[in-house]
Structure 1
């Protein structure tokens, strides 16, 4: 029998050119005016995606901004100020949060978000004691890639419905035209824009779509005029806003998704290591960055925000600007917190018409699904191998079909994406022919990058 070749993470993350020296390195502090400009740039890059998630699941965009800022500051502290990353709203939890909101209100979603954050902490503790290879053996590309595809496509019908329908839920050509203008603008910015504009296509598309919606008369600007400059957001706080009750439904809807987002986190850390020219798996350590991500998610749960994840958009800003300063990311986090308390900004976000968000979502959810497909391609997954074909097929159909597993005790239900992720992990572990992860995969990948930096 042929010996299986070890999996190389290099094939998963892709390549980034690192021939240029940084303008500001990780620990460099920028001048005040430069600091503000660079921080606003990062704020804009994450803004569109961060407010889209709460918009879709019925949470407060203001609290999403505040929790993203607080979470990013906590992440920077936990990683000892060595990892320049911004944490925004995670798209992976959209379906579970929507289901929990419908079943038990925002409190249930926040309990689930808290549990997801605890999973990060537990895995960080295990990695600090046992190393990181076990997590990559548990979550190879053949499992994570199809699950990411499910994450993107499971909300496709939501995006299309938002794009085509009026507030009454009926088809409207006027509203669909707004979605199409938004979509076309976002595509143009994604493909043809240069430098920083290429990093904020979502925000740029929302702005163009909003202007068109104003022109055709489907925007009510009165809430912005009536809003105060300073307003206290409606925080969702445990034991104050809602009673804390942990159920199996909450656990099984949210916790399995956390396993997938942790794999996404590892991928981001590898890419960030390439961009900045440091080995973040070693220093400050993968356990610290995962703990930081989990802490940000727990903070979000305690105030009423969606789960958090490191943002590829902000990594893109780092790669283009060659400004790696954590002070700049911390500045963006502080600005996000301030914006969350500005009533007129919150009111302006809430006036964005549904078809504008629908138009952006059509592209964004497709990109999420495509990134899962890209992971499979970059990892050179062989679909002539029946093992790979079986695992991916089961994950896709179970996840997209919305299958529900009802266990005959304690009323436990495992649904859709969570069930797909669990079955994918189990199939990968029990089917013959599993490829091991090489012992020095991270060292080879990052060291090769540092030679070219």
Structure 2
């Protein structure tokens, strides 16, 4: 009998054709629900998001020289900033913000390559990042509830029922299934909720029937579809939020190193994977997609299957690009009713908030210490309360971005600072 820890496919091992096909599709399913949910919530194109995630993943693999098996998809951290940016500056603002976020990743990667990671650990300890992650989830809670309860400005019991059934299906797959199905509860919830919505008569399938099989996604190309321009408001809405996916990226690389039994922070190096993350977000900004980040869902699939081959992610990326150019799939995604997305969002946004709390618990943050209590309290109230600083008509700092910056500053100036290394989160017991 083979050992449960036996590696099925090494990182650079080429799988057999059928194995390659099935395991690539498995990774595609793992990222699919979350990747299309972000554009669905922000009014962007799910088809473009799929293409940008595929291209971003291929670029990431190229930058990391095929040494880091990861899939990159839409980042949840930027949902609120994208919605806010779209309200006053449209897609041009979103794309410029995404481009600047990608540049931040690249700058951080450059600094890491020269100075190491210790300064970053000091700047973004769990007492800062944990509450900021909680702000992301809790700040979106009203959006999720509104998607389930509101229809044409009023309360709709059918919407509520569809949303609750979708939520229930998602929970069932998350709790009561094992193996691969337990990794994709969001996708299963969307599928189950969609079927129930069809039964309840709130899905119009005519657009899916009329759509062609091949269709070019509605890309947004700079200097062709919009004129790129810089504004401080977009910068301050989008860029400070980058601390969350940066911290998330570090955590993912540490976990992935344990899963594949190789120190990826040493080879190819954290600077290499961080730069790959930045390149992926810049690519997304150049075609109309949301900023990308490495996906924990796909790391979970790696841990289950023990198939680490980089070729599986190449296959998944190619499938994502092909799906993005399929008109019927794009129409099918667009036909998903609001309460279905709202139902999975209730759980997903709650999990995001809970993951911030989990970071605090796992790092044994002592709230008997006043500095910790003050930092977390200020971040939560400013971030969720929507506090803002306006200087003139063009400069404003608000919500999550303001909370993140204030949290970093408080952590640096309050006495009794204790440096906590993120590696402690994944240290052997």
TM-score range, shorter chain: over 0.9
1:328 matches 2:312 = yes
Q: Distance in 1 between matches of 2:172 and 2:423?
A: 36
Aligned to 2:26: 41
**Contact 1:209-1:356 within 8 A present in 2 as well:** yes
Work out which of the residue numbers 55, 63, 82 in structure 1 matches 2:48: 63
1:209 matches 2:202 = no
Work out which of the residue numbers 407, 417, 425 in structure 2 matches 1:424: 407
Deviation at 1:407, TM superposition (A): 2.9
**Contact 1:281-1:442 within 8 A present in 2 as well:** no
Work out which of the residue numbers 273, 276, 279 in structure 2 matches 1:295: 279
Deviation at 1:445, TM superposition (A): 5.9
CA gap of 1:443–1:57, structure 2 versus 1, over 3 A, is closer
Aligned to 2:383: 399
What is the aligned-residue RMSD (CA, Å)?
Answer: 1.5
TM-score by length of 2: 0.97
CA gap of 1:387–1:44, structure 2 versus 1, over 3 A, is same
**Contact 2:362-2:425 within 8 A present in 1 as well:** no
Work out which of the residue numbers 148, 162, 169 in structure 2 matches 1:163: 148
**Contact 2:126-2:420 within 8 A present in 1 as well:** no
SS in structure 1 of the partner of residue 202 of structure 2: coil
Once superposed, which parts of structure 1, at least 4 consecutive aligned residues long, lie more than 3 Å away? 441-446
Structure 2 gap segments, 5+ residues each? none
Q: Distance in 1 between matches of 2:423 and 2:347?
A: 32
SS in structure 2 of the partner of residue 309 of structure 1: strand
Aligned to 2:367: 383
SS in structure 1 of the partner of residue 191 of structure 2: helix
SS in structure 1 of the partner of residue 389 of structure 2: strand
Q: Distance in 2 between matches of 1:283 and 1:364?
A: 33
Q: Distance in 2 between matches of 1:90 and 1:335?
A: 20
SS in structure 1 of the partner of residue 353 of structure 2: helix
Work out which of the residue numbers 228, 231, 241 in structure 2 matches 1:247: 231
Aligned to 1:12: none
**Contact 2:125-2:419 within 8 A present in 1 as well:** no
**Contact 2:231-2:394 within 8 A present in 1 as well:** no
1:414 matches 2:397 = yes
1:50 matches 2:35 = yes
- 1:52-451 alignment runs, 5 A limit: 52-166=37-151, 168-407=152-391, 411-437=394-420
Q: Distance in 1 between matches of 2:306 and 2:358?
A: 25
1:32 matches 2:22 = no
**Contact 2:219-2:287 within 8 A present in 1 as well:** yes
Deviation at 1:285, TM superposition (A): 0.2
Deviation at 1:338, TM superposition (A): 0.5
**Contact 1:133-1:437 within 8 A present in 2 as well:** no
Structure 1 gap segments, 5+ residues each? 1-17
Deviation at 1:187, TM superposition (A): 0.1
CA gap of 1:393–1:47, structure 2 versus 1, over 3 A, is same
SS in structure 1 of the partner of residue 293 of structure 2: strand
CA gap of 1:442–1:281, structure 2 versus 1, over 3 A, is farther
